[in-house]
Amino acid sequence: MTESDTQEHVESEDRRSFMKKGALATGALALGLGSAGTAAAQNQNVLVYTYDYHPNVEFRVENSLEKATTVRLLQRPGGGNVPEISQPDNYNGYIIRYLLGQNGGSDAQITTFLFGDGLSLSQGDTRRLTGGASVFSSTLNLLSTDLGGSGGGGTTTTSGGNSSS
């Protein structure tokens, strides 16, 4: 009888462990952390303000921020680091402009900031933020998401990629 109880306990633990892993994997996919259909080599983790997060909308890099400005934006108001960012000087900051509307962004645009630890973008680059995001710092109102390539439907465009004959 004791051996039977032990066997049931082991099977129960194995079942629970399996269910936990399955639930965790399902949750990760629901958050958009699955890699199917993404260009993994192009994705890099970036930070963007919660109110300026527009997933899968193309944006253009307008310019880079000075290092001192980036550091100030990634610190508490009045100075001091947030727990999530111990070395804000490791981050690069950029001014980006979302290209909204049908005419390559000439209809409407939203300008904001984008930050990345060791991120390297050039003026004129076009990219998109992926659909999965999570709160990175509630103090700074920042989300963490991935930076994907530009274009849609399996194509990638680069700045200056369109030409007319």
Phi, psi of 69, rounded to the nearest 5 degrees: -70, -45
Identify residue 133 by its one-letter amino acid code.
Answer: A
Structure tokens at 132: 């999965």
State the pTM of this model.
0.64
Residues 89, 73 contacting (CB under 8 angstroms) = no
Identify residue 60 by its one-letter amino acid code.
Answer: R
Phi, psi of 137, rounded to the nearest 5 degrees: -145, 110
User: Which sequence spans correspond to the domains of the chain?
Assistant: 44-148
Q: Which residue has the tokens 């402009």?
A: 97
Task: Please give the chain's pLDDT, 165 residues, in tens.
Answer: 566 555 555 455 544 444 444 444 434 434 444 433 333 345 699 999 999 999 999 999 999 999 999 999 999 988 899 999 999 999 999 999 999 876 665 667 899 999 999 999 999 999 999 989 999 999 999 999 999 887 543 333 333 334 343
